[in-house]
Structure 1
Amino acid sequence: MALAQGITEVRYLWFRRWPGLDETVRDLPGRPVPLLSRDGVPRLPVRVQAAVAGCALTRRCDLVHAVMTIGSSFPPFSRLWSRLVGDTPVLHTVPGVMNPAFLTRSRPLGPTVALSEATAAQLRTAGFGEVRVVRPVVRLDEWPLRPRPVSDRPTVLVTGHHDRGGGAEEAIASAAVAARAGARFRLVLALRDRPGQDTRALEEELRAQAARQGLAETEVLGNDSDMHGLLASSDVLLYVPRALGGKADVPLTVLQALATGRPVVLSELPQFESLRGTVLPAAPGDCERTGRLLRQLLDRPRCWQELARRGRATVEERFGVARFAAQYSRLYEELLR
């Protein structure tokens, strides 16, 4: 979406869900290519449709821009890629790598872009050549700076996926540390599921864990959460995964929180290096320290205000549309010469 809106001299073909149309892409420039999907989740039938449609469309395009996480199916796919697209130049943006072991059996699709220096280093070591780093983007007009909510009971928002090591259990344990130290707040978990997961059972397990930890004011939400509304009504974002597991190197929810002026307590993972000095970092799995940091943010208004100011400034400086579009425009020009 950011590419189609930011590089107006390029005409994009892009996939969309059918039937139904997400309001966020209704006015997106370019030509949408519909894929049959009942819920928009990229299950196997949707991925097969994308592969078949992509094979037909790539030979009619000047450039293919693949935005694709490297997962278990990528190694065989990468070996077939040249047969599928022919001589069409390809740019591959890698949002994340699910497991570094997959890289040893993979081949580059073309010039490669990573979202962080940590992933770029992994790709270079695996033989992907000169890997560029282009940080993700947040449209500041869509995520305006908002004042801190006025409430007797602050809200701590937890985001992520229902993944092993995804951070939900660690967030609850950390919140319990803060609560035992005297902090008073409401805990809201807005988590996405993966295809094949028993979401209801996973949510019930989290509610039970929160109850055991004495966190009575806990709410667990699902996929359809209104992130604009959640961030506007929250005081702090808690994002503490042990590992990203294929999620984007710099999750958009973290950037959206910073743009909104919400301080973030964040796992100290190498992919988050570009946010150093902007968030409160804690070692993955260190719930004691994470809980102390959370209490500090909730109890110290000056600390909250300074981090809110710093977060917005960082997003404006490092993750703005103009810089993002300029970097990709140069890459497109290089490939289309």
Structure 2
Amino acid sequence: MSTTPRRARVLLLTSSPLDGADGADVRLASDVLGALPDVDFTWFAQWPHRRGRQPPGADGGHAVRMLSWDGVPHVPERVQSAMAGAVLARRCDLVHAFLTIGRTFPALSWLRPLLFGARPVVHTVPGVMDARLLRRSRPLGTTVALSESMARRLRAADFGDVRVIPPMIPLEQWPCRPRPRGLPVVLYAGHHDPQGGAETAIDAAAEAARAGARFRLVLAMRGRPGQDLHALEQALRERAVAAGLRDVEVLGYVEDMPELLASAHVLLFPPPVIGGKPDIPLTVLQALATGRPVILSDLPQFADFGNAVLRAPAGDARRTGQQLLWLLGQPRSWDVLAERGRAAVEEHFGPERFAARYAALYRELLS
């Protein structure tokens, strides 16, 4: 008779398929799927399959098809996720939800007993769209925040048991690259969101250029459902021209982010507020792993990076531009920040640390 223990059955609950659009919730769920090979995962996959991308670790799990033409979490995908999740939860030992706290989350949180029964639930919170939603929400179970700052906000909103597990970066996919030659490239990567940081990045770059810095500004912009991307990109170009910048390129979604970051000298990420974006933006981790200095807004969520990054007051384009001007003129400081950034990612955001923390949490809740 076999004495091999049965593997824990865990449902990865996301509002869109793991092989669909590459959002923060999908990326975090995919990372958990790949990090814990000893767990029997059930996860959502896109049907019809169009993107040709499989999440890491998919061979060891059970894919449940979700009807989705583009893999984006529209209303039909969210409804399918809730309905299928309620059924699949009965067949699993634990539910692990990866859900941003947005407009529909309060209703979902109050339906938690009906949807998931008595099974333990882990809820990893990629972000909070509006802090006012926390007052109308209940915890799904044990809550996981990406940063200490978010954990404090959730505890203050009576979310009870809140743990902190930072996201991971697969270091082998993001090797440290040497500084590129030629005219420096300053990169901003983000969404077309109000106060998302792109406008502040343009104004900061213009401040540095007026002070004598020479560089090329690249804006890598990702859209959201319903946005007129052509109009939004054109508005950014016009803003750059009006600010006096001439060497500016506005890109849409970039498939090969490793090469784009390798071509850059500096990543600018100066949003006045985080909004619904992850507390620890994955693009920032990718840039640090690549050995690219990062200039961030001085928001509480970014305090965990310590002296591995430069920070300027949130929304202060003048101070951000001064930081950029100084960094482009200081090769030795560039080298120091590049080394610190890579070391910070290896120490705090590596896959082994990520896997160990989630494995321990699963064992605790299933024991």
- Fold similarity call, TM over 0.5: yes
- Asked whether the 8 Å contact 1:190–1:225 carries over to 2, the reply is no
Aligned residue type for 2:142: P
- Asked whether the 8 Å contact 1:71–1:97 carries over to 2, the reply is yes
Counting only pairs closer than 5 Å after superposition, residues 155-194 of structure 1 correspond to structure 2 as: 155-194=185-224
Report the Cα offset of residue 234 of structure 1. 0.7
Are 2:151 and 1:92 aligned?
no
Q: Which of 62, 66, 91 pairs up with 1:60?
A: 91
Q: Distance in 2 between matches of 1:17 and 1:304?
A: 42
SS in 1 for 2:160: coil
Q: Distance in 1 between matches of 2:233 and 2:54?
A: 27
Q: Which of 245, 259, 265 pairs up with 2:289?
A: 259
Report the Cα offset of residue 78 of structure 1. 0.4
Report the Cα offset of residue 22 of structure 1. 3.8
User: TM-score, normalization: structure 2?
Assistant: 0.89
Question: RMSD value over aligned CA atoms?
Answer: 1.2
Q: Distance in 1 between matches of 2:335 and 2:118?
A: 53
1:24 to 1:313, Cα distance in 2 relative to 1, 3 A: farther
Q: Distance in 1 between matches of 2:54 and 2:213?
A: 37
SS in 2 for 1:276: helix
Aligned residue type for 1:216: R
Q: Which of 4, 23, 34 pairs up with 2:53?
A: 23
1:34 to 1:193, Cα distance in 2 relative to 1, 3 A: same
| Match in the other structure for 1:284 | 314
User: TM-score, normalization: structure 1?
Assistant: 0.97
SS in 1 for 2:227: coil
SS in 2 for 1:23: coil
- Asked whether the 8 Å contact 2:187–2:219 carries over to 1, the reply is yes
Q: Distance in 1 between matches of 2:269 and 2:249?
A: 16
Instruction: Tell me whether 311-320 or 31-40 shows the greater mean CA deviation.
Output: 31-40
- Asked whether the 8 Å contact 1:174–1:288 carries over to 2, the reply is yes
SS in 2 for 1:277: helix
Are 2:294 and 1:269 aligned?
no
Tell which has more relative contact order, 1 or 2 (C-alpha 8 A, sep 6+): 1
SS in 1 for 2:217: strand
1:184-213 Cα shifts (integer Å, max 9, x gaps): 111110111111211111111000001111
Gaps of 5+ in 2: 1-29
Aligned residue type for 2:162: V
1:83-142 Cα shifts (integer Å, max 9, x gaps): 011122111111111111101110110011101111111111111112111111001001
- Asked whether the 8 Å contact 2:34–2:55 carries over to 1, the reply is no
- Asked whether the 8 Å contact 2:33–2:56 carries over to 1, the reply is no
SS in 2 for 1:25: coil
Aligned residue type for 1:114: A
Q: Distance in 2 between matches of 1:313 and 1:163?
A: 31
Instruction: Tell me whether 282-291 or 32-41 shows the greater mean CA deviation.
Output: 32-41
Aligned residue type for 1:82: P
Q: Distance in 1 between matches of 2:156 and 2:135?
A: 9
1:137 to 1:26, Cα distance in 2 relative to 1, 3 A: closer
Q: Which of 336, 348, 354 pairs up with 1:318?
A: 348
